[in-house]
Structure 1
Amino acid sequence: MTGGVGRPRFAPQWLALRERADAAARAPELLRPLRDWSPALDPDRMPDPDGLVIRDLGCGTGSMGRWLAVRLPGPQHWILQDHDPVMLSRAATRMPSTAADGRPVTAVAVLGDLAALTASALADTSLVTASALLDLLTREELERVAAACTAARCPALFALSVTGRVELTPHDPLDAEIAAAFNAHQRRTDGGRRLLGPDAVPAAVEAFERRGATVVTQASPWRLGGPECALTEQWLRGWVSAARAQRPGLAPATDAYLRRRLEACAAGELGVAVHHTDLLALPGPYGAEAGTGG
């Protein structure tokens, strides 16, 4: 998510660096219940001749679209929505041109805010998507998204929401203290907005289920280290920096900690699992008892 008053901004270089890890982490298992719920999304059935309309919220440079468009059948029209016009222009020009079955994919960039997301705006939308977004929302913003999607009977696929759990190998005594400070930073009040951070997934499950949706979740951890050394280094620096910002008293101890961890990373001796959850919300019941189909 980029731009907007009070909202975090991410550099295109960071988004490019993490794209391969994001793609490897996202949960393709959630596409099966999505396809079951909507025949138009199932490659084993006849695609919707009118095509799919997919709205990507907080699209950044468009990595979610590049990952998902080639996994769905039929003609697709993507609405790429973000606050940053530079990011939007990159996203629109880098979308795949064909879907899983070779049908055309088109995209349009829309400069916009979640405040504009309403059920009427989603009236002709086949699917709402977002990646690494939920933890950057407030509870009020999340409620708005859930209300719009369920009222429009539009499924929503949210990838890569942080859970607050990080595992580093080998273990260091400071790991837990830095993780706790980082998680508190993720829940901070920023520009008057109280961010959900690691509480985003349970809050989203509750918000959608309260409105009658069926919610399916799947673990989607980053596995860093080895060939991902550049990403691991940048993640480490950001992780420690956020922890220090939340608890300045950690600074003296984390200087040596960061140096040790970066040396281990450069030597190929550091493994990191950053845990995320992917979430699929289907409006209404789903499964054998309810039948399928939207």
Structure 2
Amino acid sequence: MTFAPEWLALRENADATARSTELVDALRETLVNRNPLTIRDLGCGTGSMGRWLAGRLGGVQHWVLHDRDPRLLGLAEASVSALENVTAETREGDLTSLKAADIAGADLVTCSALLDLLTTDEMNALAVACVEAHVPALFTLSVAGRIDIDPAEPLDAAFQDAFNAHQRRVVDGRRLLGPDAPAAAEEAFVAAGASVRTAQSPWRMHGDALQAEWLKGWVDAAVEQEPALASEASEYLRRRSTASVTVHHVDLLALPGAV
């Protein structure tokens, strides 16, 4: 699955505002004696995580940017390597089968809005890889499956349930975690022996361009999952376009037993 650069650009400010700085503060304490830092960014998109995190960590850094989309990798490498005291390289390919050997030597593994696209087995394997390689993980903006719309209306629950079911769909024989990703990630890291902290990282929108694009995608996915909602979709979109919307996410910091 790939994403349009335009969508990633549209969501970048909301992502940056939502991510937990408290978890970054806790992470920074564990990396204080490491310079330069080597950071592997999984599903890097256009490099928004690097643009957000590099300055908060400070020091000299080398980012290894992983993605399946060569177009996004080119954009990410250009923008991340332009940051002060940062160099970058890219790795094109599948992210669902990383092993400890693949991330050995890194000081941090990070990702943003990725875990819902993994399966339970893939999430478990990623956690084991990070812990076996003694590499901390900062995984941000995992969808929690909860949407608050103000003012509320009865159809909100129907569209939310259908969307969540769509996120848990089977794709090429893989059942995606969807909104189960935050709990699955925490469980996987704890089982692998890491200490885990989580934090809420909600988007808050009110009638802006991001809300319009997100709402359309949310409703379209719900209708794809539950075609009976199609007759309600157009009017529902119109009514909700001016509402206040909170999309709940969870950030996770996992620290191996010895880092």
SS at the partner of 1:256? Answer: helix
After TM superposition, the structure 1 = structure 2 runs for residues 139-178 of structure 1, keeping only pairs within 5 Å, are: 139-178=120-159
Deviation at 1:96, TM superposition (A): 5.7
Tell me which residue corresponds to 1:27. Answer: 20
1:173-203 deviation digits (Å, cap 9, x = unpaired):
2101100100000111112110001101111
Tell me which residue corresponds to 1:187. Answer: 168
Deviation at 1:32, TM superposition (A): 2.1
Deviation at 1:115, TM superposition (A): 4.2
SS at the partner of 2:99? Answer: coil
Output the amino acid matched with 1:278: D
Aligned length: 259
Query: Counterparts of 2:222 and 2:102 in 1: how far apart (Å)?
Result: 38
Q: Which runs of 5+ in 2 are unaligned?
A: none
Q: Say if 2:2 and 2:68, in contact at 8 Å, map to a contact too.
A: no
Percentage of identical aligned residues: 56
Query: Counterparts of 2:255 and 2:133 in 1: how far apart (Å)?
Result: 11
Query: Counterparts of 1:72 and 1:81 in 2: how far apart (Å)?
Result: 20
Query: Counterparts of 2:133 and 2:172 in 1: how far apart (Å)?
Result: 30
Bigger mean CA deviation after superposition, 67-76 or 125-134: 67-76
Query: Counterparts of 1:212 and 1:64 in 2: how far apart (Å)?
Result: 26
**Highest CA radius of gyration, 1 or 2?**
1
Query: Counterparts of 1:203 and 1:121 in 2: how far apart (Å)?
Result: 22
Output the amino acid matched with 1:274: V
1:115-139 deviation digits (Å, cap 9, x = unpaired):
4521112221000000000111111
Tell me which residue corresponds to 1:290. Answer: none
Change (3 A) 1:94 1:74: same
Deviation at 1:94, TM superposition (A): 0.8
Q: Does 1:252 align with 2:231?
A: yes
Deviation at 1:36, TM superposition (A): 2.5
TM-align CA RMSD: 1.3
Tell me which residue corresponds to 1:242. Answer: 221
Q: Which runs of 5+ in 1 are unaligned?
A: 1-7, 41-47, 285-292
Runs of 4+ deviating beyond 4 Å: none
Query: Counterparts of 1:273 and 1:153 in 2: how far apart (Å)?
Result: 35
Output the amino acid matched with 2:216: R
Query: Counterparts of 1:71 and 1:131 in 2: how far apart (Å)?
Result: 16
